[in-house]
Amino acid sequence: MTPAPALAQTAAFGPSNPFFAPSTLPYHAPPFDRIRDSDYQPAIEAGMARQIQEITAIADDSAPPTFENTFVAMEKTGQLLNRAMSAFSAVAGANTNPTIEEVQSALAPRLAAHQDAIYLNAKLFARVKAVHDNVASLHLDAESQRLVTIVCDQFIHAGAALNHADKEKLKKINEEASTLEDKFQRGLLADTKKAAFVTTDRSVLAGLSDAQIAAAAQLAESRKVQGCVIPLQNTTQQPDFTELSDRATRQTIFQNGWTRGEQAGGDLRPVVARLAQLRAQKARLLGYPSYAAWVLEDQMAKTPQAVLGFLNQLIPPATAKAQREGQTIQALIDAQHGGFTLQPWDWNFYAEQVRKAKYDFDESQVKPYFEIDNVLENGVFYAAHELYGLTFNERKDIPVWQPDVRVFEVHDADGKPLALFYCDYFKRDNKNGGAWMSSFVDQSRLLGNLPVVYNVANLPKPAPGEPVLISPDDVVTMFHEFGHALHGMLSNVEYPTLAGTNVPRDFVEFPSQFNEHWATYPAVFRHYATHYQTGEPMPDALAEKLRKSRDFNQGYRLTELLAASMLDMQWHTLAPDAPVQNVDAFEKSALEKSRVDLAAVPPRYRSTYFLHIWANGYAAGYYAYQWTEMLDDDAFQWFEEHGGLTRANGERFRSMVLSRGNTEELNQLYADWRGRAPKIDAMIQDRGLAGK
Ligand SMILES: [Zn+2]
């Protein structure tokens, strides 16, 4: 070991910092009772500096490279950084404030540079490569071999194998691309805000409830404009289209959204076109025919051809179903003597009328049966108990980041401690939108760590003393996020790099979407869907209506997603020598070529507001949402064929899939459990796409 150089800029970091030493709380839970906002930055900076020391010591080791002194040693680095970053990420996402936000933007570029300092370290890569190329003679166990493959691939993927001149070119491309990504993100945010619908004439907002109008008036006030403001959501369809009865209003809002990102002074089309070109050039530098080929190599799908083949199987039945739905809607428009052809801005308004007529169903009828604690303990936890034998005890002694957060200790069937699970379900102004799972501690036998994971959601919080009654979608969200949590908690691997949810994007949503199936499974549903006042189970007729209404509008929903996925794939299979594209022409031709260009069903995102692919890391990855739907429907079909909710079925799934993280090639792992490769049939069946 080389002597450690002095730590830079860590004057404020010492034993009084709560991250200085590993947490002494059960499961090494973060000591939120002692953490102040000012503790994060010094701890994270010291954590980066320490990891660089640790990595340098490995790279400079005078002993010949071995699996132990290179791969195992790397697995043990960065523990201080992990402890500080995991707590910081939780707070930054779920309970932020201006101080935290400042720290976040200050750290973002430095964390990216920190990654480069590891992956582009030539001495370190030489050792990694030496062990990798010699792996057959080392007689390692399967998981250790997998670690060698995965880590070596991560280095090569990041450009470690390039010569010095090409590494410099790569850094330049990365720099320009990240600047453009940032420009796109900020430009889109500004344009989306600017493109909001503003009116002083309330009659054009007919159909909205008093509460919706009040919210629109309040937004106008906060933006210091007269009248009402209807903001745009970052999708093609807008939530209020279901209620807005004035057709001209819907059309204007739609057009505002459709052309956002094209405004003079803030036109994002040149940004998008240049980004696509830069990415194609980056792929060529790294030795790939396209950016998608580079991205997909370490995913389950592996190649652009596999993704396109998968999407092409879904497009004909999805568009056929969307067309049938469109015909039903057109018939309703005609019956009302509308005198126009169905347009995208009409779809949801009339679809909602069709839904009410067809299913005679309203969310307010079912909500009294979905009281949150009942859903959590008698639904989410119950299914995990029946399948995996888990039990849950609330712990009031573990510190949390906000008083609404609850903590449960999870025990295995044999009574052994397994994990800590936190849930933070209620909406707050200082919380990001949506729902997610993450971890404070990843499971690892090497490090002797049991998992500490959490779920966050944005469920509406009622006034104090009122029951928390949630919607059917919210119930599904709780099961979904808990599916991710199970993937983290049931992990049983040696190395943290391969633990739990550290898997490719087109696998990670599989356990979560799979767990959603139990929300509507009759034995589970009956166990939790009881009236919050009377305790009576939901009447069968109502439960049946709820189940049937899930089939509604599936053609539209899937088609708009497939169109977005195809757009993403077309942009990222662009040839490296292709000129800068005309965005509008490219988009039109991409959708036509893919046969997913229904006039009334536009893509969920246009190129000019497709944040996922231009700034959020989903480039050549948007298909993953549909890919994992194939997996979860196919997997649930296996359960149905084998007796459904039983301990034996759960145990088999746990030992062969959920506990395994990324310790085996995932196509193989899935096929070993399922008895064959995944098939698309169950997905087509479940979405009601198999003909009329
Ligand atoms: Zn998810």
What rounded mean pLDDT belongs to the chain? Answer: 93
pLDDT over 70 at 9, yes or no: no
Distance in angstroms (rounded) separating the CA atoms of residues 181 and 186: 9
Q: What per-residue confidence (pLDDT) applies to 198?
A: 97
Q: What per-residue confidence (pLDDT) applies to 182?
A: 83
From 268, 274, 294, 270, select the one nearest 282 (Cα to Cα): 294
Largest CA distance in the chain: 84
* Interval 156-178: pLDDT, tens: 999 999 999 998 899 889 889 98
Distance in angstroms (rounded) separating the CA atoms of residues 199 and 253: 11
> Can you give the three-state secondary structure of 374-423, one letter per residue?
HHHHHHHHHHHHHHHCCEEEECCCCCCCCCCCEEEEEECCCCCEEEEEEE
With 0-12 / 13-18 / 19 or more C-beta atoms within 10 angstroms meaning exposed / middle / buried, residue 661 is: buried
Phi, psi of 109 (to 5 degrees): -65, -30
From 510, 486, 520, 512, select the one nearest 654 (Cα to Cα): 486
How close is the Cα of 485 to the center of ligand 1, in Å? Answer: 10
Catalytic hit among 75, 181, 371, 481: 481
**pLDDT mean over 439-464:** 94
Distance in angstroms (rounded) separating the CA atoms of residues 686 and 630: 10
User: For the sheet containing 436-441, what is the strand order?
Assistant: 391-394, 406-411, 417-426, 452-459, 436-441
Distance in angstroms (rounded) separating the CA atoms of residues 127 and 141: 20
How close is the Cα of 386 to the center of ligand 1, in Å? Answer: 22
Phi, psi of 375 (to 5 degrees): -60, -45
| Amino acid letter for position 113 | A
How close is the Cα of 565 to the center of ligand 1, in Å? Answer: 17
Phi, psi of 597 (to 5 degrees): -120, 45
How close is the Cα of 510 to the center of ligand 1, in Å? Answer: 8
207: left (phi over 0), alpha (psi -120 to 50) or beta: left
How close is the Cα of 62 to the center of ligand 1, in Å? Answer: 44
Contact 686/550 with Cβ under 8 angstroms? no
| Amino acid letter for position 203 | S
**pLDDT confidence bin for 104, thresholds 50/70/90:** confident
Distance in angstroms (rounded) separating the CA atoms of residues 234 and 212: 19
How close is the Cα of 509 to the center of ligand 1, in Å? Answer: 5
How many CB atoms are closer than 10 A to CB 152? Answer: 20
How close is the Cα of 73 to the center of ligand 1, in Å? Answer: 32
**pLDDT mean over 605-614:** 94
How close is the Cα of 64 to the center of ligand 1, in Å? Answer: 42
Phi, psi of 525 (to 5 degrees): -55, -50
Helix or strand holding residue 425 (H, E)? strand 417-426
* Interval 181-216: pLDDT, tens: 888 988 888 898 899 999 999 999 999 988 889 989
**pLDDT confidence bin for 1, thresholds 50/70/90:** very low
How close is the Cα of 257 to the center of ligand 1, in Å? Answer: 26
**Torsion over CA: 536, 537, 541, 547 (sign):** positive
Model-level pTM? 0.91
| Amino acid letter for position 492 | N
Contact 67/131 with Cβ under 8 angstroms? yes
How close is the Cα of 480 to the center of ligand 1, in Å? Answer: 6
How close is the Cα of 556 to the center of ligand 1, in Å? Answer: 21
How close is the Cα of 482 to the center of ligand 1, in Å? Answer: 9
Distance in angstroms (rounded) separating the CA atoms of residues 120 and 169: 13
Reading the block at residue 293, the tokens are 């080929």
DSSP conformational letter for 449 = B
Phi, psi of 365 (to 5 degrees): -70, -30
**Torsion over CA: 287, 289, 294, 299 (sign):** negative
How close is the Cα of 619 to the center of ligand 1, in Å? Answer: 17
Q: What per-residue confidence (pLDDT) applies to 11?
A: 52
* Interval 629-687: pLDDT, tens: 999 999 999 999 999 999 999 999 999 999 999 999 999 999 999 999 999 999 999 88
DSSP conformational letter for 518 = G
How close is the Cα of 245 to the center of ligand 1, in Å? Answer: 34
| Pairing label, strands 391-394, 406-411 | antiparallel
500: left (phi over 0), alpha (psi -120 to 50) or beta: left
Residues, CB within 5 angstroms of ligand 1 (ion): 509, 512
> Can you give the three-state secondary structure of 208-277, one letter per residue?
CCHHHHHHHHHHHHHCCCCCEEECCCCCCCCHHHHCCCCHHHHHHHHHHHHCCCCCCCCCCHHHHHHHHH
Contact 434/465 with Cβ under 8 angstroms? no
How close is the Cα of 405 to the center of ligand 1, in Å? Answer: 20
Better pLDDT: 343 or 98: 343
How close is the Cα of 501 to the center of ligand 1, in Å? Answer: 10
Q: Which residue, chain included where needed, has tokens 């195809």?
A: 566
Q: What per-residue confidence (pLDDT) applies to 500?
A: 98
**pLDDT mean over 550-558:** 88
**pLDDT mean over 575-600:** 96
* Interval 248-303: pLDDT, tens: 999 999 999 999 999 877 899 999 999 999 999 999 999 999 999 999 999 999 99
Reading the block at residue 608, the tokens are 């000019």
Helix or strand holding residue 452 (H, E)? strand 452-459
Q: Is 481 a catalytic residue?
A: yes
Q: What per-residue confidence (pLDDT) applies to 110?
A: 86
How close is the Cα of 334 to the center of ligand 1, in Å? Answer: 40
| Helix (DSSP H) and strand (DSSP E) numbers for the chain | 27, 7
Q: Give the end-to-end CA distance of the chain in Å, rounded to a whole number.
A: 70
With 0-12 / 13-18 / 19 or more C-beta atoms within 10 angstroms meaning exposed / middle / buried, residue 80 is: buried
pLDDT over 60 at 8, yes or no: no
How close is the Cα of 190 to the center of ligand 1, in Å? Answer: 28
pLDDT over 80 at 692, yes or no: no
**pLDDT confidence bin for 691, thresholds 50/70/90:** low
How close is the Cα of 458 to the center of ligand 1, in Å? Answer: 14
How close is the Cα of 484 to the center of ligand 1, in Å? Answer: 7
| Amino acid letter for position 658 | L
Distance in angstroms (rounded) separating the CA atoms of residues 287 and 290: 9
C-alpha radius of gyration, the chain, whole number: 26
Contact 24/30 with Cβ under 8 angstroms? no
| Amino acid letter for position 651 | E
